[in-house]
A and B are shown apart, each in its own frame.
Chain A
């Protein structure tokens, strides 16, 4: 079945550091890929998405590129802020007409001043 693998956390960075959170996937078809973010005490929110190979999703300074050849969708940000501290989930949805999401286990990011 479909699956998503994320790097284990927590990822601890100082403010203004470069961020990479790795995500790889296994899917039988041509999935769409997503990053969701969960701030403390809240539900998940869509951060960015990419629906086909080589697409780059971006939002709030975060970027991720859909790499079909390496089945990856790594999340990056050039300069993190304390307010970026949250749990980040990579997810996929198979192109079957019904958008059932499969989530990774989540990676906690802690940014210190």
Chain B
């Protein structure tokens, strides 16, 4: 039973480019969460999705960031026109229908140069 799968593990983008981060939840999990971790800091909630629905996006920056979790395929976190301040580790987590225990992927480390 594979865990939460994120890819790519490392992503380098130049300022102004787009970054696409992918997350496949654990088998049987229908809830997906995205968190951002800046160096030496804790994780900050960004968005919570269920299949085809955004449930809570209170932690998402108002511009350039978007997320989706389509009926088929992985959840995608998209960052348009990246800036140096977007450099961080982005973690995806998933949980089952009871939505109590969340399991995290290994993260995507985004570096903007």
**Do A and B truly interact?**
no
Q: Which residues of A come within 8 Å of B, CB atoms?
A: none
